[in-house]
Amino acid sequence: MRVFIIGAGTMGRGIAEVFASQEAHVWLYDPYETALRQAQALVDKYPNHIALTSTLPDTLPHSVVLEAVPEEMELKRQVLLQLSERIGSDTIVTTNTSALSVHGLAQGLPYRERFLGWHFFNPAPRMPLVEVIPTQMTAPEVTEQSLSLLRSIGKVPVIAPDLPGFIVNRIARPYYVEALRLAERGDISPKVIDKLMEGLGFRMGPFRLMDLIGIDVNHAVTQRVWEGLFYPIRFRPSWLQAQKIAAGRTGRKVGRGFYEYDKRD
């Protein structure tokens, strides 16, 4: 199997490793040299299965072309439009998105019957679930091929509706939003809430998890789900999160969020 991945960020690299570890041949493209430098370790690990490139080839006769660029609608649409003249006649094109509308991304694509969403979870090599999000324009056989292909590389695909947050990010929202709502009252600390939820068997309480994900990233997903569902009160984004973002305390990646971190963490 030949797979072309666009975007060598955390998700692109993780997905490349998933395919390479299953003997697929993977091309990982990113126009930014810094991103490719970070991906070099993967080439060292799978020298016969991963190649890096900073140039988008004129032809992409691959089985799968997967876009994993940052979660911005316009950026993703530009990338997907660039593929129109390059892909083969039976190439499946997928977008790795956690919350953007797949129908919105598909609009205007000449290959939309071969286009659908695949949502991998971070870290992609370890998380088995992949949400498969077909649009109304996706050919049924492309959805079926996607499911078999993902099973063949050891993943557990589930078909998810193209609704804001799909399945996983939608279900998880109250875990964050309601915890924030309680913390906003001021009479209970994030640390206590985390302790109670971790006592139930959750690996991380909501605040520790938001720090890991990135408070800004988590806030943006909530914002998208809230807007996409036409502003239900229960998903109203939190002012406490907005204040953290304004203060630059976006979580573990900067050493400060709801908790303080040693830089070595």
Site size for another protein (CB under 8 A): 39
Q: Which is nearer to another protein, 126 or 263 (CB)?
A: 126
45 Cβ contact partners less than 8 Å away, ≥ 6 residues apart? 17, 20
Tokens of 60: 């992409």
- Number of residues that this document lists for the chain: 265
Q: Which is nearer to another protein, 126 or 264 (CB)?
A: 126
> Cβ of residue 163: shortest distance to another protein, in angstroms?
6
Q: Could you confirm whether 119 is annotated as catalytic?
A: yes
> Cβ of residue 128: shortest distance to another protein, in angstroms?
5
Q: Could you confirm whether 96 is annotated as catalytic?
A: no
Pick from 16, 66, 100, 193 the residue near another protein by CB under 8 A: 193
Decide if residue 123 touches another protein (CB under 8 A): no
Residue 78 CB coordination number (10 Å): 11
Pick from 34, 199, 264, 265 the residue near another protein by CB under 8 A: 199
Nearest to 19 by CA among 118, 138, 90: 118
Decide if residue 188 touches another protein (CB under 8 A): yes
Q: Are 76 and 67 in contact (CB under 8 A)?
A: yes
Helices (H), the chain: 10-20, 33-45, 73-82, 102-106, 140-152, 168-171, 173-185, 190-199, 206-213, 215-228, 239-246
- Annotated catalytic residue within 49, 67, 98, 101: 98
Footprint of another protein on 131-170 (CB under 8 A): 131, 156, 158-161, 163, 167-168, 170
Decide if residue 1 touches another protein (CB under 8 A): no
246 CB-side CA count, 13 A: 6
Q: Could you confirm whether 169 is annotated as catalytic?
A: yes
Nearest to 97 by CA among 229, 240, 217: 217
> Cβ of residue 86: shortest distance to another protein, in angstroms?
32
Footprint of another protein on 15-44 (CB under 8 A): none
Side by side, the strands of the sheet bearing 92-95 are 50-53, 25-29, 2-6, 64-67, 92-95, 115-120, 129-134, 156-159
Q: Characterize 2-26 residue by residue with b for buried, 16 or more Cβ atoms within 10 angstroms of its Cβ, and e for exposed.
A: bbbbbbbbebbbbbbbbbbeeebbb
> Cβ of residue 73: shortest distance to another protein, in angstroms?
22
Footprint of another protein on 205-234 (CB under 8 A): 206, 232-234
> Cβ of residue 178: shortest distance to another protein, in angstroms?
5
Looking only at the bridges linking them, the beta strands covering 129-134 and 115-120 are antiparallel
Footprint of another protein on 163-182 (CB under 8 A): 163, 167-168, 170-175, 178-179, 182
Residue numbers at the binding site for another protein (CB under 8 A) = 121, 127-129, 131, 156, 158-161, 163, 167-168, 170-175, 178-179, 182, 185, 187-188, 192-193, 195-197, 199-203, 206, 232-234
Q: Which residues are catalytic?
A: 98, 119, 131, 169
